[in-house]
Structure formats: structure tokens, C-alpha cells
Structure 1
Amino acid sequence: MRDTIDFGIDLGTTNSAISVAEGDTVRAIKNSLGQDTTPSAVWIPKPGIVMVGSRARERVEIDPDNAAAEFKLEMGLADAGRTFAKAGTRLTPPQLSAEVLKALRADAAMYLNTDAPTAAVITVPAAFSLNQNKATVEAATLAGFAAGSPLVQEPTAAAFAYGFHDTDDRAYWMVFDFGGGTFDAAVVSKRDGDLRVLNHAGDSYLGGKLIDWALVDKVLAPAAAQAVGVREFSREDRTWARNFARLKAAAEDAKIALSRAESVPVMVEIDSGSGDTELLEYTLTRGELDRVAEPYYVRAMNLCREAMRDSGLAPDAIDKLLLVGGVTLSPGLRELLSDPARGLGIELDTRLDPSTVVARGAAVFASTVRHPAPASAAPAAGGFAVQLSYEPSVTTITPTVAGRLRAGQDHDWTGYSVVLANPEGRPPYRSANIALNRVGAFATEVVIDERRTSRFTIELFDPTGAPRKLNPNTLSITHRDVEFGGARLTHSLGIQLADRTFSPLLRKGVGVPTKVKEKFRTSHALQRRDDEALIRIPVVQGERARADRNRQVGMLEIRPLDLRIDLPAGTEVAVTFEVDASNLVTVVADVELIQAQFEAEIDLDSITTPSADVLQQDLSVAERRLEAARAADDLPAVRDRLERLEAEKTLQTTREQVRAAATDAGAAATAEDRLRDLHAQLDEIEELAELPQRTRELLDLLAEASELVTRTGAARDEQELTELQNQAQRAIDDQNLTAVQAQIDRTNQFMIRLEQRQPGWQVGLFYALVEQPGLLPATREVDNLVREGHQAIGAGDERTLERVVQQLIRLLPRDEQDKVFGLIKP
């Protein structure tokens, strides 16, 4: 068995690939057709027959009832699946992906003439959410890979592939990974042999598939409708499903061909619906492709700018743009990327094949990961085993190897020793005898060859010097010039608070595995006698300040049945998040008052495809909000945001995906993601539109407060006012509406406290309450309190008047109470 995993798999939307790292080389594994990539397509023509790859891809066009492709976009959706009519079966996206992984395993066994690999590093888009990652792990398990086969983000893998070949000592790179279904950008730092990803940005639903469908919807479908003489010819009409499958395949083939030609002929047989067929003949030009694809290119570049901005880097600080994914073969995209005015203006690096670079990088990473150890029984009586501890990939030539011996029964290790030998080393290496301690443990430095894999045998000797059989008795360590930084969290993780704000516990970009614990307080009491009572803490993934603009991925629930005592409001709850190296999450809530823990229901198996009707309703809301936002486009900040939405054709793309949602689960998932992002951007636009008015309100309040302090304030009031002015200026400079509103509230409270110290404050508040028509309820209690208040004013009794005012406030409607109490609290 291999010491390290060594195999890397790019499980792609359109194509998949597998590579293997062997010593100081990495090579792509060819499939049975001699190709480096295998189409991610499955064809089941009858029960018991499953075909994967090129033949299956061809059948998607001519036999769509029994073939499936592009199911990666549906990973993590519980209700998604593809039905195979002739076989009478339905497979989920993880099951379909498992068939692709099985085919890649078989290719590796045939190509290398060995047993199929039992573990592999599998790549996922950096923008994948928890449910999508979990579905990928499920697919790996179904395909026969061992538990513990890790996931790694696709742009990270691509960076490893380039780092494996690159000789630069210090550089910044940007990975531009535009695949068939997803887009990822990553900022990479290489410094003194250390290669690590600094930041990610991406879109799980931005890929070549969108460009293909845009070509169909905007160019080929209108031409086809004219060719067969029909008006209602649209993708959402299932009558035309076969026609659209053929058009989609033709669009994809033409897009690929336009990487090498200025124009290509497109010929598709179109069924008219009456049994006749017409041949669509159309010449598609590269210019048409570029015009259709430009909004998607623009969105990808904006995501790159976002990743650079969050890393504190400008484009001129990036040394190279590493192109990854089939879409980057487009000359139009490359020309746009190189343009410093319209694009990114970063030097393009195209040394590695963009179709296999992710699998190659995954293999490089796999060569640094110990192979998952099988569950091993204790050695038989008289036998010996060793549990080793060492790094399989290092940048030093004198790494440490440690181990602990085990025997089939209690054993005295006195006098035993081991020797580590590498007879093929340059020069050959053999350690001195290393004595075991009383528990059978040892640790030693060994010498390895530079830039090679050194393979050691471990020899065990008993006190007489006789050799004893040991299992395992080999290990390998590879020396590299570059150390590959570990995986990073690709989305912030936290909880939704009672006011719907997002409280992140783990920030995007932190290294994983990791663990964090924070304390919160419950917003209401929980009584054991109330069977319906429930404390629910949503677990949220994303970057938006408003929690419901992120993705809810789980729910912490505390019920009365779980409690031994009642929990009062404000009970402290400690929430612990733990994330493993594959970005899979465990959440635990600890209620110290009752010494109990509650594990979060990270229910990733019930996330479903949104219905077309719900998506249409949400789209209508977004359209109304966008129309209202356009009324404020005279503000530069608002105009800039609106121009970005227009450049990316955000609304147009969202409409197209909503229309296709009824017949395409991937389109429904894309539409839901687009709508969530659109609403979040509209939130920001509305805040920017409101900011000038709120800023003027804050400045007016501060001016009024300054006059009040000058007239009546003490030295401590002047100090507090200065601090308020400083905080207000920071909020205004940051253009943060929430912070500006908070400063308005603080300034109001400051002024109220000043007024409260002035003579006649309680009198003024009393008359404000009693003279406003309809504010107080018409009750005898109110009449008595009003009478008592007048008497207190006449007698100059301020204490009684204050009590009367407080009681009157409590008789107000709840929303009015909150307003008044908010003003008068000290």
C-alpha cells in the first residue's frame, strides 16, 4: 500500500480528470480512449449497464431520457436526481458523481497496471457550500474510496500545480478558474518556499454551462424557431426538450471550436413537433460568442477584484494570472483579461493545460497527505507492528521520523532497536541502531535526497541482534522546494442573532482544521411546562451582515424536554464550531447553567430545489426593488453599484435562470443563488441611497448637541461630545449606514441626558404625554395619574411627578413605550 494518497481527482461539471504523483513527477492518467479528461456524463441504457464518459456524453443529446450530465450543479439538493427511463431507476447527484469516480478509479488501475486506488484527494469549488461538500464526500464513499479521503478547493489545487513547477522565490498569483459550472478566484502568495492561498472569491453557479445556454437562448433557439416556423419555442416548454438538448450540445461544441477558429458552422436537426425535422444551419462567429459571454466574463473579473481588494492588493501587485478551466481557452476572454482598461491587466500564465491542472495540483497535494490507515488488529502473538509519525513532504533534508512499536502481547522492549535505511539514496543512507525506550518508542532524524522521494525500510532487532519481522516496514519522504499551505475556510460561519444580524464565529480565510468557542445569551425564557417552547439558533454560512442574505446550513435547538430547570431570558449559551480539513462542520451548544450540551442539527440532507413559482415571486420583488433603486442613481455610489449590475447583466441572467427552473434543477439552484445575491446588493444600494439623509441628520444633531453643551454642559459632557464627534466621522468616512444610525441613537441619548438635568424636564415630558391626542388610553387609571401629575407640578414635587410619568409610559402601546424608554434611559 502507498504511504501517501498520491492520487488527485478533479470532479468537474463538464469533464473530470485524475492524476498521480510519483516521486518528483506528476502525470495525468489517460482513460481507455487515451484522453486526459473524461466527460462527467452517465448513460444507463438498460438495467445493470452503466456507461460513463464520451459515449454517455453523446447520448445526452440523442437519448436524454436515459443519459445525464452537468449534475454537479445539483450536488447537495435532497430532491434532485435524474431518472433513467429504460432502466427504471433514479440516481441522485452524489450517486451519479460516484459513477464518474468509479470510472476514474478503473482508469487508474488499468493505466498503472495496479489495484484501483483506495484513497484520493478530490477537488471542490472554493465557493461550494457545506451541503455541496458533504454530497461530494458521499460520492467518494459510494465510489469505494476510504473514509478520510480529503477534499481540497479547486483554485488551491491549481496553485499547487503551478507551484510544483515554478522556480520563482517570491510572487503573488491570481488563480482564474472558470470551469464548466463554477468560477473561483484565489490570491496566492509564494514566499521563501511557502505557497499558500490568501483569499478566495467565487460563484458556485458561474460556468461555461451558462455561456452555452446563453448561446442557445439568444442565438440558436431564435434561429431554430424561425427554421421550423414556430413561435413558442422555449426551454421551459418540455415539448421541445430533445431540441434544446441538441442545441445545448451544439452550442458547447461550437464554443470549443471557436477557441481555434473565427467562425464555425452549426448544424442541428430540429423536430418541428409534428414529426417532421428541419436542419438548422447557422454560422456562429467568435464575435457573437464574446458578446453573449461578456456579462459572465465581467462577473468573473469583478470577483477577482473582490478577492484582491480583500487581500489588500492591487492588480499591479499580482505577478501572474493562472488560467484554469476550459472556458479560459477562449481567445476573447484572454484578450479581455489582458486589457488593463477593460480587464485585469495581469500577465497571463498558460504553461499548464487548463483542463488537467486542477487534477495535477490535487495529486501534488495528495503526495503530502498520509494514506488513511486501515483499521488494524493487534499483531498476532510473536508479531510486531509499528505506528509511525512523520511528514511525508518536507522542505528540509533532515526530517524527523518517530514511531512506537506494538506486540501481540505485553512486551519488554529493553534492548530492542531499529535501523532506518535508504539503499537507493544519493548517497545510500543507513542510520545507526536506534534504541527503543521502555514503551517501544523512538524518534530520530534521517537524511533525504534533495528534490526526490526517499524510500526507507525499517529494520527491527531484538536484544541478541537478531532481525525480527515488522509491519509496516517502509516509509517514503519527498523533499520539495515549496511547502504547500493547508486548506482555508472558504465561507465565514456563525449564528443568526435575534435581530437577524449575522454573528460570525469563524471568518473566511482562517486555516482549517480549526475550532472556536464563543458565548451568547438567550433572548427569551424557556419554561419546561411549555411543550411548544423552543430556543432555535440558526447556523449560517456567508459574508453578509444580514443573516438571511447568507445560506442557513443548520439549526441548534434546545427544547423543554432537554432541560432539568427553567431557563430565564439572558441564559448564557457557549457555542463551539469545529471545522475539519475538508470544510465539514460540527456545532455544539453548551448551556453551563444546566451543564448540558446540544449538538446542532446540521441538516444538510433536507436542502431542496426551490420551486419555480417561489422563484418567480422572489424575482418580482427584486424587480420592484431594483426599479425603486434606479430613482436614486443621481448619487455616485448608487450609480456605480447599478452600473455593475448592468455590466454583469445580473437581472437578465436571473430572469433566464428563473424561466428555466421548471425543467432544470441546476437552473433553479442558480436562480436561488442569484436572487439571494441580488437582494443583498439591493440592500447595499438602498443603504447608500439613504446614507446622505442620515448623514445630514447626524451632523445636525451633533451641531445641536454642541450648542447644548456650550450652554449647559460640564467638562465631562465636552469630552463625551468630542468622542461622539470622532465616532460619527469614522462612520461617515466608512459610508456605513448602520454605524451612522447607531451614532444618531447615541447622540440622541446624550442630548436627552443633558436635558434631563435641566429644570422642568419631567414637566415637559408629562405634558408631551398628556396633550398628544389619542396617545394615552381613555381609562380611569390614566385620568387619576394625570390628576396626580398636575397636583405634583403645582406642589413642585419632582419625585412624585417622575413616578407618574413612568407609570403613564407603561400604559402606552408597546411600540410607543420602546420609543420613550429608549429616549429616557440613562
Structure 2
Amino acid sequence: MRNKIDYGIDLGTTNSAIVRMENGVPVVKKTDKQADTLPSCVYINKKKELQVGEIPYHNMKADAIRALRDFKKADSNTFIEFKRTMGTTHNYESSNYGKSISPVELSAEILKTLKSFISDENLNSIVITVPAKFLNPQNEATMQAAKLAGFKHVELLQEPVAAATAYGLGSKNKDGYWLVFDFGGGTFDAALIKSEEGILSVLDTDGDAWLGGKNLDEAIVDQIILPYLQENYAIESLLDDIEKKEILRSAVKFSAEEAKIQLSLKESWNILSNLGDLPFEDENGEEPEIDITINQEDLEKVFRPIFQKAIDITNNLISRNNLKGADLGALILVGGPTYSPILRKMLKEQVSENIDTSVDPMTVVAKGAALFASTISISDEVKEISRDSTKIQLDIKYEATTVELDSLINLKILKDKSSEILPDKIFAEVTRFDGGWSSGKKIIGEKASIIEVLLVEGRSNSFDITLYDETGNKLECQPNQFSVLQGIGGLDGMQVLPYHIGIGKFFISEGKDLFKSIPNLEKNKPLRNGIVGILNDNRTRSAIRPGIASDKLRIPIYQGEFGADGSNPLLNNLVTEVVITGEDLPALLPEGSEVEITIKIDSSQLMKFSAYFPLLNHTEELQVDINNTEPPTEELLNNEISKAKKVAKKVNDSDVSNNLDELEVQLENEKGSADGKMKILDSLRKELLILDKAEKLAEWPKIEKALKDSFFEWEELINKIEDNNDDGEIDIDKVKSNNIEFKNTIEQIIRQKDSKAAKELTDIIVGLIIELRNSLTGGDVDRRRIEYHDKEFNNISWKDKNKARVLVNQGLKLIEEGKTNQLKSILYQIWDLRIDSDEGGDTLS
């Protein structure tokens, strides 16, 4: 039985790997083909059997070529790159399987196969790496795949953190800043790491979940291979057909991928098709062939815009942390595409000269995952499954990582877990992996014994535990080994939130829902042992009656990027929507009732939600069900891009306009691909966020004028009151005190050009003006309010129509009697009876 998890899996878009800690060293476990990595490829044969790895990868190529004969896409039974659709509703059709199969099920097959390479023990616990920019639905899908694969204890680890762990352990540079540049098969992550005397911390992360080696392959297809075929053969009608074009792209993508790999090592490469590689005829009855020689210069034109996106993200990450590329002690390359000489040249020119190639880009993530796993205790459930009570059961407690050269171990016997009769005296000897240090025999028992162990610098130190009785006979124990990472620390706090966590909340000043971050759940908050965020100052916008299912409070939870606060929630990523109805509450919850929201997030970014209602002293704890994302349609994307282009023109943003033009071209090329459309939607949202801010800036002069005008009206009203000595029952000193406070606040708002705050303050001032005039006129404003409710009575939705009619009639009677200064209390009751929400329920305000 292992004391720690000790196993790490890099579940990659195109290739995956499994690594185990052996004698303190992360060892890549070879595939059945004796390779370090396994192609993340699944084939379903006619017997409905699922095969994984290299053979399916070759079958996929044959399937893709075969599909060219009749251009029937449904004939494919081999799947790859499904990681990019994890967490979505997209499924893959298989003619052999007789039904569709989900990305989760396909990923589970990869995990099962990796697990099968471990033949000498049962594997129940695992650390699986995920891109730092994975959204909650993608993380949840990864957890589901692991459970389907039979893992009982699963921890998710961000890929840059895994890479930094592997690099940091062997690095001689224990102080300074590192940048992990992880350009994988389907995703890009960048992480800024700070190391202080070996203690690692993640300062900031960024990336693009839709940027990776696949984009490079597609660029070669769309900019080199297809134009060559179009120029030399009559295939216009084929290219105009979405499905047929996608089938052709899939068939030639293998040639593109091979060219990409070869040109990482060579100056030029000839893409040459073999007989039968393109088994179809063009419009002139000719069978196409490919014969293209590509050199580094040709490839640079194609790759540069893609690599530039990753470099721009990286430079923005560095600069927003007030650093320069020259401040980096190491630029750590991760992922197969980082072998590209084009990328390395661009990184040296634009980011840093300090490119570090000391780690293997292909296996560093999996090795880092195993090292990280060696610090995570296996769960109690798995311990009980693995426990062999015929062996003496031990409990070992210690710090799994340290920058010191010694460490203290607590060791004791678990007598109640051991079925054998134990000797009166038991001795333990702890021996280091290299034999260079031993504790000697120490007596141990049911109370903890402390043993100080000496460590070898800069590596994982494994120790064997041997038990003896008084006569020197060896006794079997479990666990009989443990390890301590020397040279790095802080691993428990390295993972950070990759996004702001917030809700959609109604803002009266804006008249709409906006994204509101939850305190303590901001981007880059360390996930050490889980974190808790609490959002106060929330109010219900309508009453919720007990037992009434149609009375709803909706709380949509989003993940947002930098600058998401105050943005349209739909421009961010919806995690889930929590709905609380009258059936959940024990009593009436009036409109305007306070609600306190609490969200707990664990180290794998999984959530727990609760809402506390102080008025009812009631807490509603709800399961956060993560919803799969629906891939967008081509029509939706076209419409949204078209609308965005009009806004970009209106705010005169040429950069966004150019980016939107590029998205239109991408959509034309990838409209037949689910993950391609998801990628375009993600890019579009980023442009829409920019436009959202630009529109607010363009609107600012009008907002500023409204704020100033309301304040000038307020000041003018106060001056008139003072000049006429007509303050009545008004506390003029308090009013003047508010006036000074308003002046200071307005100066700050104008300085920051804070549109939201300006609108909120404008509403406050206008409200005060109305109430001040109402007070001065003896309730004339309230009179008009009562008369309005009388006139529009049948057009207003009421909670209790009869009660509302009685109150309005009481108000009319007071007006008739000239008692308008007594209308306020009646108006409050009337407002409480109004229903201003839609049938779907309200968000909070």
C-alpha cells in the first residue's frame, strides 16, 4: 500500500503519458509499443471493441482517406483531439458502435489504457493534469472520465504547475522568476512562477484553451495544401460544400502534421502524396496528387500569426506583473510544438534570451504530475481498499516537501488495523534510497515516535521502512516506503484560480444584469486546501412565497477574465445556474430581503454553493451541477460577428475590426467542426469584452454630463431653500453634509471614468431631489404616484390585487382630504405588492 498517490497522468490532446514515482524518481511507464507517450486516439471496431493508441492512429488515417471515396463522414470510427470538446454536449458518431460516444467516454478509454501499463499493483488514486485555462465544465468532465476509468481518488493539477514542479526540483536557480510556456497539442498555457529559496508560488496565469499544435496543422492545410489543390485541380464545388471540405481537410491533415514535425528538425520538407492517398476525382475527372516543397521561410508565414498569439499573451502576462522578459531567470518550454525553430527564434526576439531546454517538453508535465502526486496522501477510502491487515499497519506523518536538508517523521503502529498478534516490542529502521543514511533500529509503538531523516539535495528522497522483533526477525508492514521532495516547497499553494468567479447580478443604475466578482474568488487566488468566497449586500427583487414553485430566485455563476467585473455576464463563461424556489423556503421571503452567498472551491476547482437568508435564519445548500456547454451554430456566430463589426465601426476600433475579419475567415474554414466553432466563440467573446469597454468609454461624456447636471440641480435646490429660508422639517445641515460627500465622490468618479458608479450616484441624487421636492411640497410627488397607480391599476401585476385596490383607494381618500403628507406609508405597502419580475424568476440586486 502506498502512502501517497505517486502516479501522474498527462491527459493530452494528441498524446498522453503515465509516470510513477520509483525510489524517489519519476519514471515514465512505457506503452505497449515501448514509447514514452500514447497517441490520444480511440478506434471502435465492428465488434464494438475500443482500441487505443498507435494502431487506432494509423486506422484514423486510413478512415480519413477512405472517406474521400464517397465523402461520407459518418463512416469514421476513429477519434482524436476530443479533449478540445470536453465539457460540451458534442458527441461523436460511430457507424461501428451504432450510437454516438462522448468526449468523456473517449477520454476514459485513454485513461484505462494508461492504467493497464501498470501490471504490478492496482491503481486507484491518480493526479491528472489539465490546462490552466480549462473551465469548470472541462474540469468536471475530466473528473467524470477518471471515475469511468475506475479511479476512486482523483486530483486535478494545472499543467504549468506540473511543469514548474519538475523543472524546479532539478534547477540550480532557486531564486527568481520563471515563465512556463506550455504550447501543447490543443491548448496554450503561460504561468509566471516566483521561486524564493526553492519555495514556489504562481503569480499569474493566462492562456488560450483553443490554441495549440492542432492550429498549426490546420494552418498548413488551409494556407498551403488546399490552395495548392485549388490551383492545380478543379475542386471548387467540393470546397463550397461544408461537409465535403471538412472531410478533405481531415484526410490531408496527416501530411500537414508530418511536415510540422519534420520541419522542427530540417530546413525543408516535401509533402508528397502516395498513390491512393487522395482517392477521388475532381470536376474534370482527374485524381489529385500533392507535391509541395516547404521550407522554413514558407512555414514561418503560416505559423507566425499563431505563435504570435501565444507570445502576445505571454508578454501581456509579464508586463501586467510589472516585469520585463529580461527579468526571467528561465523560459521553460513545454509541449511538442516548442521544438519549432520558428517559435524559439520568436521567443528569443520578443520575450527572453533565457530559454531553458533542460526538461523534455513531451514528458515534463507527466513527470511533474507524479512528483506532485508524491506529496498528496491517498484518501481514506483507497487506504481501506488497499489495506492488508495481515501486515503491521503504520501511520506516517511528515512534510512531503522541504527546502531543508533534514526532516522529521512521525511513525506509529495502528494496532486496531492490524489483525495479527503483535510482538511486545517492535523496532523500525528507516533507510534512504541510496543507502547513504539509516536511522538505525528505533523502538516504535501505538504512540508516535519521531525520527529525523537526512536528505539528498535537489531530488525526491525515498525511504524504506523495515520492522523487526526483539530477536531481529523481519516483520512485514504497510506502508513500507515514503518519500520527501527536497529543494522545492509551497506545492500545496501553487495552483491558482484561472478565472474570476462571480454571479450575474441586477444593477439598478444600469437597468440590467452585470458580472459581479465574489470576494476572495478572484483570478490567481491560491487554491491551497480550497478557498471560500462570500458575497454580501444582495437583495431579492421580488417576494418568494413558501411552497410556490413558480416563485424563483436565479443565481447564475460565471467564470470571468481580467476586467470582467461590470461586463455583460453573457460575455463570460456560464458555469451553472442555481435556482431557489418557494418550495425550498420555510416562510415568505419579502422583496428586498438580504441574501448572503457562499461558494467553496476545492483544489480541483469543484464548487459547493449555499445561500443564507438572515430574515428566515435559513441556509439553502445546493449541489452545483456543472452544465455541459452547447457548441454554437454557424448562424449564431455569423450574426454575432456581424453585430460586433457594426459596434467596432461605431467606436472606431480598427484592431477589433481586423480580428473580427479573421474570425470570419476561420469560421468559413471551420464551420463543420464543433471544436472549431467553440474556439471561434471563445475568441469572439474576448473581442466583445473589448468592445463592451469601448462602448462604455464612448458613452462616458453623456454619463458624466448626467451626473454633473443632477448634482447642479441638487445644489441649486439647496441654495433656493436657504435663500428663501424654506427648509420646513428638512435637516439642512445633514443635506449640506451630503453635498460635501457627493462633491468628493464625483471628483473621484470623473477621474476614474467609472460609468457604473456615475450612474448609481446619479440615481441616488435624482432620488434625493425628488424626495426633497416631495417634502417641500407637502407630498405632491407622492400624490402623483398614487394617481399613477390608480390610472394604471389594471396594467400592473399584483401579488394581491384586492389588497392593492384597498390601499390605492385609501391614498385617493387622503388626497381628497388634503393629507398628501401622509401618503408615504401607503406607497411603501403598494410597492411591496407589485410584481415586476418575469416568469423565469429574478436575479439578485
Question: SS at 1:323's partner residue?
Answer: strand
Task: Find the partner of 1:326 among 326, 336, 339.
Answer: 336
Does residue 255 (structure 1) correspond to residue 260 (structure 2)? The answer is yes
Match among 174, 184, 187 for residue 189 of structure 2: 184
In the alignment, does 2:605 pair up with 1:600? no
Q: Does the residue aligned with 1:205 lie in a helix, a strand or coil?
A: coil
Aligned-pair identity (%): 27
The within-5 A match list for 1:156-167 is: 156-167=161-172
Structure 1 position 676 matched with structure 2 position 681: no
SS in 2 for 1:488: coil
Q: After TM superposition, give the deviation of residue 620 of structure 1 in Å.
A: 1.5
1:302-346 Cα deviation digits (max 9, x unpaired): 33244335545444443332222222223333333333xxx3356
Distance 1:510-1:417 versus aligned 2 partners, 3 A rule:
farther
Secondary structure (helix, strand or coil) at the match of 1:63 reads: helix
2:585 and 2:814 map into 1 onto residues whose CA distance is: 47
Could you tell me which residue of structure 2 aligns to residue 441 of structure 1?
447
Name structure 2 gaps, 5 residues minimum: 65-75, 508-512, 723-731, 796-806, 838-845
Instruction: Pick one of 504, 514, 517 that aligns with 2:517.
Output: 504
Give the match for residue 588 of structure 2: 566
Change in Cα spacing, 1:467 to 1:8, as seen in structure 2 (3 Å) is: same
- Secondary structure at the residue paired with 2:154? coil
**C-alpha displacement at 1:598, in angstroms?**
4.0
Q: In structure 2, how many angstroms separate the alpha carbons of the residues matched to 1:10 and 1:404? A: 36
Specify the alignment match of 1:430 in structure 2: 440
Does the 8 A contact of 1:590 with 1:598 survive in 2?
A: yes
Q: Render the CA deviation track for 1:219-269: whole Å, top value 9, x for unaligned.
A: 322321333212233386223444221222222222233323444322344
Match of 1:224 in 2: 229
The structure 1 residue matched to 2:415, chosen from 397, 400, 406, is 406
Does the 8 Å CA contact 2:90/2:674 hold for their aligned counterparts?
A: no
> Structure 1 stretch 782-791 or stretch 506-515: which is displaced more?
782-791
Closer/same/farther in 2, CA of residues 273 and 240 from structure 1, 3 Å limit: farther
Q: What whole-Å deviation, never above 9, does each CA across 1:92-129 have from its counterpart, x for those lacking one?
A: 212222222233334455xxxx4475433211001111
After TM superposition, the structure 1 = structure 2 runs for residues 462-481 of structure 1, keeping only pairs within 5 Å, are: 469=475, 471-481=477-487
Matched, 1:123 2:129: yes
| Structure 2 residue aligned with 1:153 | 158
1: CA distance, partners of 2:85 / 2:368: 25
Match of 2:754 among 736, 740, 764: 736
The verdict on how the C-alpha distance between 1:198 and 1:404 changes in structure 2, with shifts beyond 3 A counting, is farther
3-state SS of paired residue (2:608): strand
1:801–1:443: structure 2 CA closer, same or farther, 3 Å change rule?
A: same
State the alpha-carbon separation in 1 of the partners of residues 811 and 342 from structure 2: 79
Structure 1: which amino acid aligns with 2:39?
Answer: P
User: How is 1:712-731 mapped onto 2 (pairs within 5 angstroms)?
Assistant: 719-731=737-749
Residues 236 and 659, structure 1, Cα contact 8 Å, conserved in 2: no
Change (3 A) 1:6 1:377: closer
Q: Partner amino acid for 1:127?
A: K
Choose from 393, 405, 410 the match for 2:401.
Answer: 393
Which of 464, 468, 491 is residue 485 of structure 1 equivalent to?
491
Q: Please, which moves more after superposition, 420-429 or 63-72? A: 420-429
TM-score, with length taken from structure 2: 0.80
Higher relative contact order (CA 8 A, sep 6+): 2
String of CA shifts for 1:603-628, please: whole Å, max 9, x gaps: 33x5253352xx42343233223323
* Cα distance in 1 between the residues matched to 2:355 and 2:387: 55
Letter in 2 for 1:627: K
Cα displacement string for residues 628-687 of structure 1 (whole angstroms, at most 9, x for unaligned residues) = 332332xxxxx4xx42x367x3542365247634x3221232233233333323212211
Out of 344, 351, 360, the residue aligned to residue 351 of structure 2 is 344
Checking the alignment, whether the CA contact within 8 Å between 1:515 and 1:579 is kept in structure 2 is: yes
C-alpha distance 726-216 of structure 1, shift in aligned 2 (>3 A):
farther
Partner of 1:624: 643
1:810 Cα deviation after fit: 12
Q: 1:619 to 1:54 in 2, by over 3 A?
A: same
Report Cα offsets for 1:563-616 as digits up to 9, x if no partner: 443333344444332222222222233556666654435333x5253352xx42
**Corresponding letter in the other structure for 1:629:** A
Say which is worse superposed, 73-82 or 171-180, in terms of deviation.
73-82
Question: SS where residue 125 of structure 2 aligns?
Answer: coil
Cα pair 1:769 1:776 within 8 Å, conserved = no
2:315 pairs with 1:291: no
Aligned residues of 1:556 and 1:599 also touching (Cα < 8 A): no
Query: Structure 1 counterpart of 2:281, which letter?
Result: S
Question: What is the CA distance between 1:400 and its match in structure 2?
Answer: 3.2
| TM-score, with length taken from structure 1 | 0.82
1:527 Cα deviation after fit: 2.0
In terms of mean alpha carbon deviation, does 539-548 or 180-189 score higher? 539-548
One-letter amino acid of the counterpart of residue 341, structure 2? P
The worse-fitting range, judged by mean Cα deviation, of 652-661 and 160-169 is 652-661
Per the alignment, in what secondary structure is the counterpart of residue 576 of structure 1? strand
Q: CA deviation at 1:791?
A: 11
1:10-409 matched pairs, under 5 angstroms = 10-47=10-47, 49-64=49-64, 65-83=76-94, 85-88=95-98, 90-107=100-117, 109=119, 114-115=120-121, 117-144=123-150, 146-234=151-239, 237-268=242-273, 269-270=277-278, 271-272=280-281, 277-308=287-318, 311-339=321-349, 343-345=350-352, 347-372=354-379, 374-376=382-384, 384-396=392-404, 397-403=406-412, 405-407=414-416
Q: 1: CA distance between counterparts of 2:581 and 2:611?
A: 13
Contact 2:439 2:451 in 1 (8 A): no
Q: How far does the alpha carbon of each residue in 1:716-757 deviate from its partner, in whole angstroms, 9 at most, with x for none?
A: 656544433333333334343222333433454566677678
Q: Could you tell me which amino acid in structure 1 is paired with residue 255 of structure 2?
A: A
Q: How many matched pairs?
A: 777
Unaligned 5+ residue runs, structure 1? Answer: 634-638, 793-799, 819-826
Quote the Cα distance in structure 2 between the aligned partners of 1:308 and 1:528.
Answer: 52
Secondary structure of the equivalent of 1:426? coil
Where 1:233 maps in the other structure, the secondary structure is helix
Question: Are 1:155 and 1:186, in contact at CA under 8 Å, matched by a contact in 2?
Answer: yes
Q: Cα distance 1:430–1:203, how it changes in 2: closer, same or farther (>3 A)?
A: same
Q: 1:382 to 1:278 in 2, by over 3 A?
A: closer
Q: For 1:134 and 1:5, how far apart are their aligned partners in 2?
A: 20
Q: Distance in 1 between matches of 2:687 and 2:16?
A: 31
Given the alignment, which residue of 463, 468, 471 partners 1:455? Answer: 463
Shift of 1:56: 2.3
Equivalent residues of 1:622, 1:678 under 8 A apart: no
Matched-pair contact (CA < 8 Å) for 2:774–2:782: no
CA gap 1:160/1:784 in 2 versus in 1, 3 angstroms: closer
Q: Whole-Å Cα distance in 2 between the matches of residues 431 and 712 of structure 1?
A: 93
What whole-Å deviation, never above 9, does each CA across 1:402-427 have from its counterpart, x for those lacking one? 44523269999998665453276533
Q: What is the match of residue 516 of structure 1? A: 532
| Equivalent pair of 1:554/1:600 in contact (CA under 8 Å) | no
Counterparts of 1:522 and 1:787 in 2: how far apart (Å)?
A: 32
> How far has the Cα of 1:182 moved from its partner?
1.0
- Of residues 179-188 and 759-768 in structure 1, the stretch that sits farther from structure 2 once superposed is 759-768
Alignment CA distance shift 1:723-1:297 (3 Å): farther
Looking at structure 1, the residues matched to 242 and 163 of structure 2 have their Cα atoms a distance apart, in angstroms, of: 40
Q: Please name the residue that 1:689 is paired with.
A: 698
Which SS does the other structure have where 1:680 is aligned? helix
> Structure 1 558/693 Cα, relative in aligned 2: closer, same or farther at 3 Å?
closer
CA contact (8 A) 2:663 2:684 kept: no
In 2, distance between residues paired with 1:736 and 1:263?
A: 55
Letter in 2 for 1:579: I
